[in-house]
Amino acid sequence: MFALDLPPELKRRGLHNAFHASLLRVPVPNDDGRFPGQQIHHLMTSIGSESKAWEVERILSHMGTGKDSEFELKWKSGEHE
């Protein structure tokens, strides 16, 4: 069993700090071309931020009405040109 010393912000968000060694994997570098916005500086900016807002590029599809509505979204990567 491994335990991480998580910052208070991550603990408040409900991240669990302990996991079994069988869950460890060799790290694979992120391909920012296929998965934009997943570089560590993007993640830490959003995790460390007090804001709970994420910027949506567009709504791809939706179903349901009222409280039962579900939306498929395309999120902005955080990179602005």
Could you report the per-residue pLDDT of 4-52, keeping only the tens digit for each? 888 888 888 888 889 888 888 888 777 767 666 655 555 555 555 555 5
Each domain of the chain, given as residue ranges in start order, spans 1-25
More confident residue, 33 or 69: 69
Rounded to an integer, the average pLDDT of 51-73 is 82
pLDDT tops 50 at residue 81: no
The DSSP-derived string for the chain is -EE----HHHHHTT---EE-GGG--------TTTSTT-SHHHHHHHHH-S-----EEEEEEEES-GGG-EEEEEE--S---
Query: Looking at residue 32, what is its pLDDT?
Result: 67
pTM for the structure as a whole: 0.32
